A and B are shown apart, each in its own frame.
Chain A
Amino acid sequence: MKISAFHLMPYRELPADFEQRYESVWVTPPWWELADARRVGQYYNWTLDELLYAAKCGFDGVCTNEHHQNAYGFMPSPNLMGSVLARQTNGTNVAIVQMGATLPTSNPPLRVAEEYAMLDCISGGRLVAGLPLGSPMDVNLCYGITPMEHRERYREAVALTLKAWQAREIFSWNGRYFQLATVNLWPRPIQQPHPPVWIPGSGSISTFDFAVEHDVCYCFLSYSGARSAKTMMDGYWRVVAEKGRDLNPYRAGFLQLVVVAESDARAEEKYAQHVEYFYHKCLHVPPMWFSPPGNQDYRSLVATMSNPVRRAENPKTLRYREFVDNGYVIAGSPATVRDRLKEEVIKNLRVGNLMVLLQIGSMPHELALENIELFGREVLPDLRDTWDDEPWVNHWWPERLRQRAVAPVAAGVAAGGA
């Protein structure tokens, strides 16, 4: 299987009373009160260093994503980060997993097709092209896209992107949202017919359908762990079967928060405050903002309203032990983490493309490096063989990187040596 390091690039030093003082971590947090540009410059560089360190520690891929106007994760342009990562990992077998640039907020969305093609060229064909719909906060609230048009724009943009990468002839695109008289993409990606596509989602049935119809990898980006994801992912595999696709585990991606230490007790000492910071501050968003009127179609709206998926608990009231017990975070000694990841996530949800978030909330740079190193050395090698006893091919991974990875080259790499 393939295991990638994911990074959100959060603001790591929000005030202790942040969630009491401010309305939201997203859209409206006041920059001048909360942030400092020089400090943020340090964060971006730490983020790059942490991902590059993961690359050296044997991870199969490095992931960045796009968000706007927030302190939870603010890489407004993930492709700027991806381009540094692509350049710095040349000569390795690490995939550049962009999770990714958001089509509905790029106008024309051809810009994403071009930048991904650039990344594929720079990296020598190591790009995984994530094509996210984008969150309502980013797309509707920050970037002004009408909620009712969000999904239509996205679908049109995906079709345009796929065609722009592959068309042999110059073509015209007379769409509903985008009109381009002469589409002739320069450059084209190295990978043919196009880089592997991953579509991240948060459990919406219409996204399952879309991913399966397009024969791409569906990635469930969850912060609530595998237990609450089980129903969703079972639903996904049902759609896969109904639509006549095989049950190749590489059709599924999953994001899991992980912290590793010498022992379970040490993990709590080292990481508890950072995990709580993440769930209490970084996810502090008014619930209404996740569903602006019109963002869901009528059928989904009725389904949600008449049968609201009630969270078993409000994360703001939970503490580290509960996050760990309930699987929001998989934490502890290498053995604990290994076993829980394998049973609860990989096997239970049938996941072939695992992403792990290892820098969490306020976690400082040195500790993030420790977490990455320990995961790479003590956990990752034991998970890598999963699924190898079955004849599945990871069609959603850059072809030249599909071979089973050799032992990590990072043995003995000093922390910070990235």
Chain B
Amino acid sequence: MIETQERTVTVWQDRVRIRVLSKGHGPALVFFHGPWGLTWDPFLDELARSFTVLAPEHPGTTPEAHDDIYHLDGLWDLVLCYDELLEVLGLESAVFVGHSFGGMVACEVAAAYPARARRLALLAPLGFWRDPDRIINWMMLEPGELRRHIFHDPECDAARRMFPPSDAHDATAAARVRMVWAMGTTGKFIWPIPDKGLKKRIHRVTAPTLLVWGKEDRLVPAVYADEFTRRLQSGRVQTVDAAGHAPHLEQPEKVARLVRDFLSQ
């Protein structure tokens, strides 16, 4: 199998370094990862069979570039950064896939630059807030609790990969640092409530959009799909059985098939 490629590009007057992992052949697909950092996973491997998958790391989560996050003050800066990144990657347009926080970012970029996004697949995206369906602040959960909130089955392979066993102290500490810093750098754009005005901008999105939601999502309940579909020009929802807030990690083949079929249309 072909190895994952990586390159680090700089944007924002050379102040923000972003590592981009890539793999595959075919049309460009940009993957925006969620609040726990980017890990190349079986879902991305599946997509790489039909697309050239480009997965940038959220600013601050690239190794040796942790403090770059301090150069971005808000969502507007972040969206502009991604516009610059697409420019540097030579992508006038692409299909976007985003998970959770990354789903919100993909949607914001598509709202700011409608021509950049040809099609959108959003996996349990953030971006809205409903008082009766408060989103639990995952940043304040103990690791064990967090694991039970992300996954429908906290003992699944993906959960074991995200949370290494505690007998390996160094590996656990390193994984925890990586995860906490990823939550901090993404949390910078959504604290304390992950509704930063997407409702005012989402009408600008022209790309046909697929929303994928785990039926057992304990962080962002599936009712949030309605907030997207009733505002998008063209949006439909697909729910996934036996999956929580990371459906692409818990059911990689099923979700990859849904996403690939939709993006290939």
- Which of the listed residues A292, A294, A295 has the most CB atoms from chain B within 10 Å of its own CB? A294
Q: Which residue of A lies closest to B170 (CB)?
A: A306
Residue of A nearest to B189 (CB): A146
Residues 296-314 of A, flagged 1 when their CB comes within 8 A of B and 0 if not, give 0110011001100000000
Query: A288 is contacted by which of B70, B141, B185, B192 (Cβ under 8 Å)?
Result: B141
Complex Cα gap A306–B177 (Å): 9
Residue A144 interfacial (CB < 8 Å): yes
Which B residues, 204 to 224, have Cβ-Cβ distances below 8 Å to chain A? none
**Contacting pair B177 A305 (CB below 8 A):** yes
Are A147 and B191 in contact, with the CB atoms below 8 A? yes
Given contacts A147-B187, A176-B73, 17 further A-B contacts (CB under 8 A): A145-B191, A146-B192, A148-B69, A148-B184, A148-B191, A288-B140, A292-B139, A293-B181, A293-B183, A293-B187, A294-B187, A301-B180, A301-B184, A302-B177, A305-B173, A305-B176, A306-B173
Closest A residue, CB atoms, query B145: A288
**Is A301 touching B181 in the complex (CB atoms < 8 A)?**
yes
Contacts of A298 in B (CB 8 A): 66-67, 181
User: Do residues B141 and A147 form an inter-chain contact, with CB atoms below 8 A?
Assistant: no
A140 sits at the interface (CB 8 A):
yes
A152 to B173, CA, bound (A): 26
Residues of the A chain whose Cβ atoms lie less than 8 Å from the Cβ of B188: 146, 148-149, 294
Instruction: Report if A286 contacts B (CB, 8 A).
Output: yes
26 A–B contacts, CB within 8 A, in A order: A140-B191, A144-B193, A145-B191, A146-B191, A147-B184, A147-B187, A148-B184, A148-B188, A148-B191, A152-B70, A286-B142, A288-B141, A289-B140, A292-B140, A292-B184, A293-B181, A294-B184, A294-B185, A294-B187, A297-B67, A298-B67, A298-B181, A301-B177, A301-B180, A302-B177, A305-B173
- A131 within 8 A of partner (CB): no
Query: Smallest CB–CB gap between B172 and chain A, Å?
Result: 9
Give the contacts of B151-192 with A (CB-CB under 8 A): 170, 173, 176-177, 180-185, 187-188, 191-192
Partner of B184, one of A145, A176, A295: A295
Query: By the criterion CB–CB under 8 Å, are A293 and B142 in contact?
Result: no
Task: Judge whether A140 and B69 touch: CB under 8 Å.
Answer: no
User: What's the Cα separation between A155 and B176 when bound, in Å?
Assistant: 28
Q: Is A141 an interface residue (CB 8 A)?
A: yes
Q: Which of B142, B183, B192 has the most CB of A within 10 A?
A: B192
A141 and B191 CA atoms in complex are apart in Å by 10
How many Å lie between the Cα of A148 and that of B181 in the bound state?
A: 10
Closest residue of chain B to A27 (Cβ to Cβ) is B140
Residues of B within 8 A of A147 (CB): 139, 184, 187, 191
Interface residues of B in 26-72 (CB under 8 A from A): 66-67, 69-70
Candidate in B69, B188, B191 with the most chain A CB atoms within 10 angstroms: B191
- Of residues 50 to 98 in B, which have CB atoms within 8 Å of A's CB atoms? 66-67, 69-70, 73
Closest B residue by C-beta to A287:
B142
Distance, CA A212 to CA B183, complexed state (A): 31
A301–B69 Cα gap in the complex (Å)?
Answer: 15
- How many angstroms between the C-alpha atoms of A152 and B192 in the bound complex? 17
Which residues on the A side are within 8 Å of B170 (C-beta)?
A: 306
A144 to B137, CA, bound (A): 12
Q: In the complex, are the beta carbons of B181 and A140 less than 8 A apart?
A: no
Interface size class of A (residues with CB under 8 A): 20 to 34
Q: A301-B180, A301-B181 are in contact. Are A146 and B187 (CB under 8 A)?
A: yes
A145, B192: Cα distance in complex, Å: 7
Q: Give the residue among A144, A145, A147 with the most B Cβ atoms within 10 A.
A: A147
Interface residues of A in 132-155 (CB under 8 A from B): 140-141, 144-149, 152
CA distance A148 to B139 in the complex (A): 12
Whether A293 lies near B184 (C-beta < 8 A) is yes
Q: Is the CB of B142 within 8 A of A294?
A: no
Least CB separation from A142: chain B residue: B192
Of the candidates A144, A152, A293, the one whose C-beta lies within 8 Å of that of B139 is A293
Contact call A148/B185, Cβ cutoff below 8 A: yes
User: Which chain B residues lie closer than 8 Å to A146 at the CB level?
Assistant: 187-188, 191-192
Give, as a whole number of angstroms, the nearest-CB distance from B89 to chain A. 26
Contacts of B67 in A (CB 8 A): 297-298
Shortest C-beta distance, B253 to chain A (Å), equals 31
Q: How many angstroms between the C-alpha atoms of A292 and B186 in the bound complex?
A: 12
- A147–chain B nearest beta-carbon distance, Å: 6
For chain A, residues 247 to 292, give those with C-beta under 8 angstroms from any C-beta of chain B.
286, 288-289, 292
- Return the 8 tightest CB-CB contacts between A and B, nearest first: A294-B184, A293-B184, A293-B183, A298-B66, A146-B191, A148-B188, A144-B192, A293-B180
Contacts of B182 in A (CB 8 A): 293
Using a CB-CB cutoff of 8 Å, which residues 44-71 of chain A contact chain B? none
Residue of B nearest to A144 (CB): B192
Chain B residues near A140 (CB-CB < 8 A):
191-192
* B173 partner residues in chain A, CB cutoff 8 A: 305-306
What is the distance, in angstroms, from B219's C-beta to the closest C-beta of chain A? 15
CA gap between A148 and B69 in the complex, in Å: 9
Q: Can you list, as one digit per residue, whether each of A146-169 has a CB less than 8 Å from chain B (1) or not (0)?
A: 111100100000000000000000
Question: Closest Cβ of chain B: how far from A172's Cβ, in Å?
Answer: 19
Closest partner residue, chain B, to A291 (CB atom): B180
Nearest residue (CB) in A for B177 is A305
Bound-state Cα–Cα, A152 to B73, Å:
11
Q: Is the CB of B187 within 8 A of A148?
A: yes
Residues of chain A within 8 A (CB-CB) of B192 are: 140-141, 144, 146
Q: What chain A residues lie within 8 Å of B176 (beta carbons)?
A: 305
- In the complex, what's the smallest C-beta–C-beta distance from A217 to chain B, in angstroms? 29
Q: What residues on B are CB-neighbors of A292 within 8 Å?
A: 139-140, 184, 187
Shortest distance from the beta carbon of B32 to any chain A beta carbon, whole Å: 19
In the assembled complex, the Cα of A306 lies from the Cα of B172 at a distance in Å of 9
List, in ascending order, chain A residues with CB within 8 A of B193's CB: 144
A303 to chain B: closest residue by CB: B177
Contact mask A196-221 → B, CB, 8 Å, 1/0? 00000000000000000000000000
How distant is B4 from chain A, measured CB to nearest CB, in Å?
Answer: 25
Among A331-368, those with CB < 8 Å from B are none
A288 adjacent to B187 (CB under 8 Å):
no
Expressed in whole angstroms, the minimum distance between the Cβ of A164 and any Cβ of chain B is 23
User: Smallest Cβ distance from B95 to chain A, in angstroms?
Assistant: 30
The smallest C-beta distance from B16 to any residue of chain A, in angstroms, reads: 15
